[in-house]
Structure 1
Amino acid sequence: MKCWNLSHHYTYMDSELTSPPVVSALRESFGDRKPPDITRKITACVACRKQKVKCHMREGQVPCSRCKKRGLPCSVNRSLQTLLEEDVTWKGAIQRKMRRLEETVAAMAAKIDFPELQVNEANLEHREHSIGPTVEAITTNPGIGTSLPLGQTSGPKESRNLPQTWQVIEDPPGGPASIPASCVSENGRAGHSNNPPDSRRPDLISTGLISLRQALTLFETYHLRLDHFLYRILGDHISLDSVRIASPLLTAAVCTVGALHCRSLGHLFGTCFSEYKGLVVSQTFSRHVGDDDIRGLCIGAFWLHELSWALIGNAVRIASEINLHSGIYKALKGDRDGYLRARLYYLVYVCDHHFSIAYGRPPMSREGSIIDSASQLLETEHATEDDARLISQVKEWSILGRVFDTFGVDVDTSIAPQALPQLRRYSIYLDTWFADWNEQFKANQNVGNYPQKGVGFHFHFAKLYLCSHAFRGIAASTDMARWMSPELEDIANTGVLSAMSILRVIVEDHEFRSFLNGLPLYFDTMLAFAVVFLLKVATKFANVIRIDTAKILALVTNTVAVLSEITQEMHGEHLLVVISGGLKRLLERCQMPMPDSHETMLQPSLEEHSTALDVSWIENMASFDFQTHFPHLDEWWLHYNTSMGLPGRSTLS
């Protein structure tokens, strides 16, 4: 009978403790699938076992009836085997849940094309070891979890190696004449292609930062007006939905710049700007960037002064990495994708030069066959008038790039006499450029007569930059009145005339004034330069070149008044708002109450203040950096000195 009871007991145990796979694997590691003898189920609490009395527990749950009646602590000691099996069972359940969760997240990431959410297999293996052994690990390595030394793994798994994206290409394009690094490269353009047209990644609309209605208004503000100042950066994207599918970064850029120029939704600028910055940061080291992300970077660079230099630097890097410049070869053969990529490279080129040459920085985008072939793009079937406007800019900045390479940024050294012929040649190049493009463009339904008027404005900007070189080194001369030769004086006067032409357009052309709340940062920067350049010449160098000081100051006064009026309607974060305030304070410091004679009394006042107006940087834009000194513009306006670094305390307080 006793033997029968024992057999019945084991039968009961096997039926009650139906072992999960991980428990069975653990038992097999000890050489037997059935529980060892020491694992007989304990059904008596510690107190009853100690008194050797029968223990009555309802459904095996403590406390038993005796301990409950007597108020004694009731607990059941479990065997080591039971504890180990329960631990393994728990770990197996957790691993299965984690695996299902990670597979779900991976499926979602693949669906929305969000590679940052893809499961890292190496990290997954580390987590599995940190939680406990898997079923497979237990069955193949019986000692795991109990006897493996620290740091020892269960063996390599080929399936868990990270995917190798680099390879040696046996037959690169071009054969023996191929580009050297093309034989060791990534698989195709992995990580740099545009997203599939049916994918949509989260953006500031889907995440609830702004509503769809607000986004549509901001998109229309940008698409129907601002984008036409810059030759249609959006390209074929003519709807908000198309932009959202293309790139969250592009969507954020459009909404941010739109909010900067939209009175009704200007309060959204901070929200959009923060989201845009976050996307730029996350994109910096991403391997999934493409043409539309470059568009988003360019839009931000053209209009967002705090980020422009960093944005265009990133855009140039990516454009070079994905060989955007090679699109011209396919474009000239009639390929539309090649055409779109070529014109995008030209946009990057122009944007790069906007924020390099005028700031004394060498451009990052290079000259070459794509720049030499720019005019040929206009002969393709896909070319539009917007492309002609873009190519005109490429041609102008190619000239100014050569000016930068020839004369550098040493504003303390005067132009050598033997270099004057080259400076005149560059002046002739700019005159020819103006003659070629001045009558090319007609009125645009989105931006009026800006295409034609913009050519003249860019021309005077370029001439002012070039001719300001005539003033280099003049501050170091002991006799400034005799220092400038007649030829150099002629160049200097040309610069003064160009600066005055810029201000006359602002004062007299009502239509052009309406463009100021929309034109890119380069216009704001060069407009400020033109004003300060004229003030500098009128206050310190009126005896060096023949100018009408009173006429210049009257023009500057009218310009500052117009800018003050215009900027009242602009967003507070617009660069021109701060420039307008800085120019107004600068003019106030230069002037004094005028008695009977405007001309006779103003000049001595200006000469009196000339020693305090330390703006020696004005001889050239090389040392002028709005990006660095913008937050302290008020103090910096008058006191920036290239030889002293950061501005000091005002002496006119």
Structure 2
Amino acid sequence: MSLSKDAILSLRKRALQAPSLIEDRWKNTVIGDLDHIHSALQEVLGRLSLPPLPPLQTSSADNLATSPHDDVPDREEPGPSCDNSPRVSPRDDALPHVPIESLYQITRLRALRSDDTADEHQPPPTRASNHAINDFISNGLISLEDAERLVTLYLNRIDHFMYMIGGSKYRDLDTLRRSSPVLTACICTVAALHDPMSNHLYGVCSREFRRLMAASMFDRRIDKDHMRAMCIGSYWLHDISWTLSGYAIRRATEVNLSSNFHRVIADNNEEAMDCLRIWYILYICDHHLSILYGRPSIVREDASISGWEELLKTPVFTESDKRLVSQMALLIIMSNVRELFGPDTGEPIPRAFGQQLTNFSRQIDSWMGYWTTELLKLHQFIGEFPTKGVILHHHLAKLHLHSHVFRGLKGSPVPPYFQESAVAAVSAATSIIEMLLTDHDVREGLVGIPHYIHSMIAFACVFLLKVAAQHSGQFIEDVMVFDMTTKVVQQFRSTAVGKYHLVHLMADGLEKMATTKITSPTALQHAPLPNGVGHAGMHYVNDPNTSMSHMTHGNSMYTGGLMGNGFDEDLNLSTTPFLHFDSGNYDFNFSGLGFNI
């Protein structure tokens, strides 16, 4: 029998491949054996309390390098997995109401089935106390002493600002490491960002956190500590908060995290309340980012959000939870403000919105009056910051609300029917800066508050600079704006945080903007030298009593909103310019208020 030319070539090709395939199998076998030996030795060393071995430089998980010219034998990749014993749902015999359930019933594809919510409430598996830990600390990327210092800083100083949800159940590094590597890396990253002595550690911790997050992208299920890590990152890490927040909300809705609200109301279940706190933090982060970026929020005000008052009556509701729901209550108001005004189209707002401005302003005042009283009980935990935080958020909300009257003006005079709101916006912005410069607790809070508040403080500064530039002498004297800006820059530079923290990144950009926007010779002639932080010495050209008689200056009550406008001055909206960084400088060159200068 004669063989064809193609058959002869095929046989020759297989003969040449045979030694290579045998060699590859041998290498994989040896590497697998080494993995088993290495793991066994690590366990023995852990039981003897001896230092662990360094990680293997090769493992069975590594891909063997192959030449692009080598012929790789065809392999049939495994298809999507199916449930051999499908879970029986009480709804299986009912008419389907969710389309994906129908597809799951006829295909049994496991990826289409959401895990039961109850499964997510189970505590994550923890390593035995004598089991060796293999993470970026044991691998020597950062020392054990540095890691302990960072975790202690976070637990004792920073976690309070996120309502003690991030790491309150862990009181030491060892327990944290054994429970969740990704939460450990995230906490170390946030702590290094706030610690001026840990600049060299921030990059290492941040890379490890991002690596673990990327590796878990397609994990079928994640535990609550993984969700906590994403909440912490969204709350403090300004450069990845938008991405983390959106991904975390998707994972939270996958397990129906908001349904824990009904479990808390019905059963006073502490585990359900813990899950609900995570859901509330995600709501807060989502709406903070919506305000900062001028984009629609993802989480809507369903029963779990709007029904927060029912939680006040439950035994599992704590004093710290009051701070949490107080912020939610304010953001519900601000969400309604965004729904009314919508995105910035470059057009002035209609005169008919004047009544809504008044109504929203009264709601914000009522919010402040209620919560300043309710949060007095928390002084024993973190001093007077909770009540002063309410005052600060009150000012932020008033600024966000009333600044809408400057939309679309492009330097034109504010219409007479919006003069009151214009004065209120300037009053709120100056009160924010006065609190920052004169109140010890607020200045101390610069180390720990979420990046949302830092961004809103920046907005207040830029707002006043642009008002002074476009409406010089009408609402506030130029020299006072330059004076405040100079002192704020000095305050930012004197704040003891890491060099990658927002307050340091903002200082140079704000100083540069002040010198370019305030061009009045009188303002520059009388501008003070940076010789200390003191009272801003506000002087209003317009009498504030003619417009907002309920507002006080200096340490007046806090508003809680921000700008919900887009930024488009010399920048593309899609690049999120307000939180865009270039060469370490904070980019203040935006115009979400119609200030095109």
Partner of 1:485: 416
Question: 2: CA distance between counterparts of 1:468 and 1:574?
Answer: 27
Q: 1:207 aligns with which of 118, 123, 139?
A: 139
Pair 202,169 (structure 1): closer, same or farther in 2 beyond 3 Å: same
Which residue type is aligned with residue 307 of structure 1? I
CA contact (8 A) 2:437 2:487 kept: yes
Q: 2:157 aligns with which of 225, 231, 240?
A: 225
Give the Å deviation of 1:396.
0.8
Which residue type is aligned with residue 585 of structure 1? K
CA contact (8 A) 1:328 1:370 kept: yes
Establish whether residue 365 from structure 1 lines up as the match of residue 299 from structure 2: yes
Partner of 1:519: 449
CA contact (8 A) 1:312 1:348 kept: yes
Establish whether residue 570 from structure 1 lines up as the match of residue 514 from structure 2: no
Give the Å deviation of 1:503.
0.6
Partner of 1:14: none
Pair 494,643 (structure 1): closer, same or farther in 2 beyond 3 Å: closer
Question: 2: CA distance between counterparts of 1:551 and 1:162?
Answer: 66
Give the Å deviation of 1:471.
0.6
Partner of 1:5: none
Give deviations 1:6-46, integer Å, cap 9, x for gaps. xxxxxxxxxxxxxxxxxxxxxxxxxxxxxxxxxxxxxxxxx
- Which secondary structure state, in structure 2, belongs to the residue aligned with residue 361 of structure 1? coil
Give deviations 1:349-405, integer Å, cap 9, x for gaps. 101111122210111112201102222223221211111000001111111112112
Partner of 1:43: none
Which residue type is aligned with residue 515 of structure 2? E
Question: 2: CA distance between counterparts of 1:265 and 1:293?
Answer: 24
Q: 2:588 aligns with which of 629, 637, 645?
A: 637
Partner of 2:372: 438
Give deviations 1:508-552, integer Å, cap 9, x for gaps. 112321111221101110111101101111121246x54444444
Give the Å deviation of 1:444.
4.0
Partner of 1:350: 284
Give the Å deviation of 1:555.
3.1
Question: 1: CA distance between counterparts of 2:395 and 2:457?
Answer: 10
Partner of 1:197: 126
Which residue type is aligned with residue 286 of structure 1? D
Partner of 2:7: none
Q: 1:508 aligns with which of 435, 438, 444?
A: 438
- Which secondary structure state, in structure 2, belongs to the residue aligned with residue 441 of structure 1? helix
Question: 2: CA distance between counterparts of 1:619 and 1:466?
Answer: 8
Establish whether residue 171 from structure 1 lines up as the match of residue 92 from structure 2: no
CA contact (8 A) 1:496 1:534 kept: yes
Which residue type is aligned with residue 208 of structure 1? G
Matches within 5 A, 1:583-594: 583-589=510-516, 590=518
- Which secondary structure state, in structure 1, belongs to the residue aligned with residue 425 of structure 2? helix
Pair 641,471 (structure 1): closer, same or farther in 2 beyond 3 Å: closer
Give deviations 1:156-190, integer Å, cap 9, x for gaps. 9xxx9875249765433697498624563537449
Give the Å deviation of 1:411.
4.9
Pair 178,221 (structure 1): closer, same or farther in 2 beyond 3 Å: farther
Partner of 2:462: 532
Pair 367,345 (structure 1): closer, same or farther in 2 beyond 3 Å: same
Q: 2:231 aligns with which of 294, 298, 304?
A: 298
Matches within 5 A, 1:408-419: 408-419=342-353
Question: 2: CA distance between counterparts of 1:516 and 1:291?
Answer: 28
Question: 2: CA distance between counterparts of 1:243 and 1:635?
Answer: 34
Partner of 1:385: 319
Partner of 1:556: 485
Question: 2: CA distance between counterparts of 1:587 and 1:327?
Answer: 49
- Which secondary structure state, in structure 2, belongs to the residue aligned with residue 413 of structure 1? coil
- Which secondary structure state, in structure 2, belongs to the residue aligned with residue 394 of structure 1? helix
Partner of 1:467: 402
Pair 411,92 (structure 1): closer, same or farther in 2 beyond 3 Å: closer
Which residue type is aligned with residue 172 of structure 1? P
Give the Å deviation of 1:208.
2.1
CA contact (8 A) 1:259 1:268 kept: yes
Partner of 1:582: 509
Question: 1: CA distance between counterparts of 2:92 and 2:215?
Answer: 36
Question: 1: CA distance between counterparts of 2:485 and 2:567?
Answer: 22
Matches within 5 A, 1:277-356: 277-332=210-265, 333-356=267-290
CA contact (8 A) 1:472 1:620 kept: no
CA contact (8 A) 2:194 2:497 kept: yes
Pair 207,444 (structure 1): closer, same or farther in 2 beyond 3 Å: farther
Question: 2: CA distance between counterparts of 1:256 and 1:595?
Answer: 42
CA contact (8 A) 1:165 1:186 kept: no
Give the Å deviation of 1:635.
8.9
Give the Å deviation of 1:101.
4.4
Pair 291,500 (structure 1): closer, same or farther in 2 beyond 3 Å: same
Establish whether residue 450 from structure 1 lines up as the match of residue 381 from structure 2: no
Give deviations 1:397-436, integer Å, cap 9, x for gaps. 1111121122112251111122222222222211111111
Partner of 1:126: none
Which residue type is aligned with residue 500 of structure 2? E
TM-score by length of structure 1 reads 0.67
Partner of 2:555: none
TM-score by length of structure 2 reads 0.73
Matches within 5 A, 1:103-114: 104=36
Question: 2: CA distance between counterparts of 1:334 and 1:395?
Answer: 22
Question: 1: CA distance between counterparts of 2:379 and 2:415?
Answer: 44
Give deviations 1:274-330, integer Å, cap 9, x for gaps. 111111211222223122111111111222221111111111111111211111111
Question: 2: CA distance between counterparts of 1:92 and 1:513?
Answer: 62
- Which secondary structure state, in structure 2, belongs to the residue aligned with residue 300 of structure 1? helix
Pair 179,369 (structure 1): closer, same or farther in 2 beyond 3 Å: farther
Question: 1: CA distance between counterparts of 2:526 and 2:22?
Answer: 93
CA contact (8 A) 1:438 1:456 kept: yes
- Which secondary structure state, in structure 1, belongs to the residue aligned with residue 395 of structure 2? helix
- Which secondary structure state, in structure 2, belongs to the residue aligned with residue 637 of structure 1? coil
In structure 2, runs of 5+ residues without a counterpart are: 1-14, 44-57, 64-69, 105-111, 528-561, 569-575
Structure ID, larger Rg: 1
Question: 1: CA distance between counterparts of 2:142 and 2:392?
Answer: 37
Pair 207,416 (structure 1): closer, same or farther in 2 beyond 3 Å: same
Give deviations 1:218-239, integer Å, cap 9, x for gaps. 1110011100011012243333
Question: 1: CA distance between counterparts of 2:74 and 2:292?
Answer: 58
Pair 633,208 (structure 1): closer, same or farther in 2 beyond 3 Å: closer
Q: Count matched residues.
A: 501
Which piece of structure 1 moves more, 396-405 or 201-210?
201-210
Which residue type is aligned with residue 113 of structure 2? E
Which residue type is aligned with residue 495 of structure 1? A
CA contact (8 A) 1:334 1:380 kept: yes
Question: 2: CA distance between counterparts of 1:131 and 1:586?
Answer: 61
CA contact (8 A) 2:230 2:245 kept: yes
Partner of 1:610: none
- Which secondary structure state, in structure 1, belongs to the residue aligned with residue 251 of structure 2? helix
Pair 175,390 (structure 1): closer, same or farther in 2 beyond 3 Å: farther
Higher relative contact order (CA 8 A, sep 6+): 2
Which residue type is aligned with residue 125 of structure 2? P
Which residue type is aligned with residue 164 of structure 1? C
Question: 1: CA distance between counterparts of 2:205 and 2:591?
Answer: 36
